[in-house]
Each structure stands twice: as structure tokens, then as C-alpha cells.
Structure 1
Amino acid sequence: MLSGMNVGLPLLTQPQEVKLVSSSGERDLYESLAEIYSIIITLDGLEKAYIKDVVTEAEYTETCTRLLKQYKSSLGDESVSREFVDLETFKRTWGLECPRATERLRIGLPATVEQASHGAPQASSAGAGGVVGGASGSLILAATENFITFLDALKLNMVSKDALHPLLSEVIQSVNKVTDGEFENRGKIIQWLIALNQMRATEELSDDQARELAFDIEQAYQGFKATLN
């Protein structure tokens, strides 16, 4: 009788294989979510290092820009974005705090770009406005062309986040290479970059928003040109 009681019971000495994922697609999904988790942790550490002056502005800018691009690229996958939901939901799900990374991801720009980097080389002839002297002609031209390109894109009804955010990022980065000082309506560029960064990739501006954006960037362009006089 006793010998028959264990019929059909599993042999405990034989380990059972546990499948964590049921398909290659599911595995790819969780690998992408793990990458996002790692990016957030790394970005938070980078922000702390920058505040403590442990890394140079150049090192910070390069690394932060790369991490932000990786973050956006990971969320470009529809299945990943759907599982991610949004940053606050993801943080709650995985027990993350990372306030500095949260703020940087909200803004979508390195602090050196957001606040106008003071790391660009300045010639001795730089004026009170902080305009880079010497070989700044090509930098001024690049910034001017980026303003015009962005405003032309709006005239051509390019109003999606995917179209506008990269162009406006080029504007502020090129401007920061010309001047390390504030100028009239520079803050509008940052405000719109943050607003665009918070939109979904394919989301588009309304007609009123597009007109307001064009007006604000045109005003910022005039403010930028005033620093060159």
C-alpha cells in the first residue's frame, strides 16, 4: 500500500525548468524595460556627479545626451511604450525614486543646454553680452540657419513632435555655442522644448499652438540677433 502512494508524485530531486517568458517578443520587451530602468539609474547618478563637479561639462553633456537618446529610442517601440505607460507609473511599478533623473527626462535636455553652457571657449574680445569672439562667425551662421530652418518647418506645416523637437534642439544647442548669456525670449525656446518633449512622438500641435510657437521662436530669434550687435 505504502509503495503505491507516491505514484504520480513529482521527483523532488529533479529540478523543474521555470520559464520566465513565453516568447522571444516577451523577452525583448523585458530586456527593453530593463534597459530603461538602467538608463534612469545611470542618469540620476550622472546628474549627482555633475552637481558635485565630479565630471566636466563636456563629459556630462555627451553622456546625458546619449542617455536621453537611448531612453527615447527604447520608448519608440509601441509594445515597450504600452507596457511602460509613463515615467511615474514605471517608477512606482519598479520602486524607483531618482528625482534628478525624473526632472532631466521631463525637460529632455542636458543641464548644460538648458542653462546655456559656460564651457565654450571665449575669446578675449567677448563682450558683456557673452558672445563668443574670434572664430564665432561660423557658429553665428549655424545658429541663424537653425532658427530659419525651424521657422520654415512650421510654415510647411510640420507640427509633430517627431519633426519639431530635433530641430528646436539644434536651435538651442547652436545658440549656446554663440552666447553663454541670457537674451530676450531665450526662455521661450526652453519652454517649448519641454512642452514638445512631453508630447507623444506622433502627437501634433494645434493650429493655435503652431502659431504661438512660431511667434515665440521668431521673438527669440530677434533677441538672439540683438546680442550680436
Structure 2
Amino acid sequence: MYSAKQLAYAPTTFAFNPASSLSATINLDEEVKLTSNNAERDLYESLAEIYSIIITLDALEKAYLKDSLVEAEYTDTCSRLLKQYTSHLQDESVSKAFGDLESFMQEWDMECPRALKRLQVGLPDTVERPSHKQQTPGTDAAHATRAVEATENFITLLDALKIGMIEKDVLHPILVDIIQAVNRFSDVDFENKGKIVQWLITLNQMRAADQLTPDQTREFSSDMTQAYTGFKQIL
């Protein structure tokens, strides 16, 4: 039935001669380069670093929740990772290729919900939500000093908005100072304190030169006024 004896095994590469149209157009022994210049190499290295930071940060958050790390070690490590993440994205080419955090994680099939939350807030959990044992002990005078510090930060922020300073790189550092100051004063969740964290997340996802829209500015000013009022109620 067959004109030739059927082989009992798959032919080796030596037994198969492909048509010339199917022949390899590259040297299979030659190293394939992913980049063609230094700029591309630096870009991919930065994106790879960001990927590693997300994975590491998620593991760090899990370890902290399990009490596998002391708070000081967690805070230092988390702060360093957040700074490295921000530093990479300050490069315009990296930021453009990166897109946004959620899209990047979806593209690379990253299941890191704890890292996502931490990167959105931009602060270690110990700073965002300090425990009672993290409160700095001191005299009544020291307690009053911390109250004044928080109050001054609120006023600085509201004054900045009044004179039209609506850039992310102006507002975000002041808002970080506010959350840190009120947490040093007390761990009480006063009324509208959560709005401070919500705006931290919003500002943290903006580019440094981005500005609030007129609607955002009005909403931000209203929310911070309410948060300031809530803070004064616990003084």
C-alpha cells in the first residue's frame, strides 16, 4: 500500500529538508538582542525594576500583616521601595511606556492587590494608619506642639489653594505632612480623616506637573476644610 517503508519514529532534522521558502532567515546560533541601543536597554531595565518593586512590595505587605517584621523595619523598607518606584517614573520615557499602575499589572498578569493599594496611597501602612503604640509619648507641651504642627499644615494647604497653587508637586508634599502630623498627634479616626487618604491616592497617581481641574480644586478645598474641622474637634 505504501511505496516506502513507514518510519516508527519522527524524522530527525537531518532527515527533513524544508523548502527554501521556510528556511530560517536568522542565524540560530546568534544571540538575539532585545534592544538596539542604550536608551531602549535603560527603558526595559527600569520597567523590569518596577515589576520587581511591585512583587517585593506585595510580599512585604503580607509579611507585615503576619507580624513577621517589626514596624520600624517595615516602614524603612516600604518607604525605600515607594521612593524607588517614584524615581523610576520620573523619567518621561519610562512613565510613557509604563502607562498606569493597574494597566501595567493587568498586562503582566500580576496579582498583587496589597502592593497596588500601597502604591496608590504612596505611604507605608504605619504612616497611613499608625497604631496606638506608635504614638510618640511626651509631655503636655510636646502634645501641644504636635497639635500646632498639624494645624499649621492644614492652614498651609488651604492657603495654597486660595492663591491658586494647584500643582500636584506642590500639594502632595503638604498633604503628606498633614497625615503624618495628625497621626503623630493622635490615632483617633476623626471625622473626614479618610478624605485625606483619598486625596493622597488621587494626587499620588498624577504626574508632578499635573494640576487639579477647577472642579477638583473646589472639591479638594471643601474636603480639606471638613477634615480640618474634624481634627479641631479632637483637640
Give the TM-score taking structure 2 as reference length: 0.80
- Tell me the equivalent position of 2:16: none
- Tell me the equivalent position of 2:174: 167
CA positional deviation for 1:122: 5.5
CA positional deviation for 1:46: 0.8
- Tell me the equivalent position of 1:200: 207
- Write the deviation string for residues 153-188 of structure 1: whole angstroms up to 9, x where unpaired: 112211122221121011001110000111122112
Select the structure of larger CA radius of gyration: 2
Which residue, out of 80, 99, 117, partners 1:66? 80
Q: Tell me: CA distance 1:122–1:72, structure 2 relative to 1, closer, same or farther (3 Å).
A: closer
Q: SS at 2:132's partner residue?
A: coil
Q: Tell me: CA distance 1:21–1:146, structure 2 relative to 1, closer, same or farther (3 Å).
A: same
Bigger CA drift: 110-119 or 52-61? 110-119
Q: Tell me: CA distance 1:94–1:120, structure 2 relative to 1, closer, same or farther (3 Å).
A: same
Amino acid at match of 1:60: Y
- Tell me the equivalent position of 1:187: 194
- Tell me the equivalent position of 2:95: 81
The separation in 2 between residues aligned to 1:205 and 1:17, in whole angstroms, is 48
The separation in 1 between residues aligned to 2:59 and 2:49, in whole angstroms, is 15
Q: Cα RMSD (Å) of the superposition?
A: 2.5
CA positional deviation for 1:150: 1.2
- Tell me the equivalent position of 1:140: 147
- Tell me the equivalent position of 2:156: 149
Structure 2 residue 123 is matched with structure 1 residue 109: yes
The separation in 2 between residues aligned to 1:88 and 1:120, in whole angstroms, is 32
| Percent of aligned pairs sharing the same letter | 60
- Tell me the equivalent position of 2:55: 41
Give aligned pairs, total: 211
Give the TM-score taking structure 1 as reference length: 0.82
- Tell me the equivalent position of 2:22: none
CA contact (8 A) 1:117 1:176 kept: no
- Write the deviation string for residues 89-145 of structure 1: whole angstroms up to 9, x where unpaired: 3223333211211122222222223224433246498xxxxxxx5622332222122
The separation in 1 between residues aligned to 2:209 and 2:30, in whole angstroms, is 45
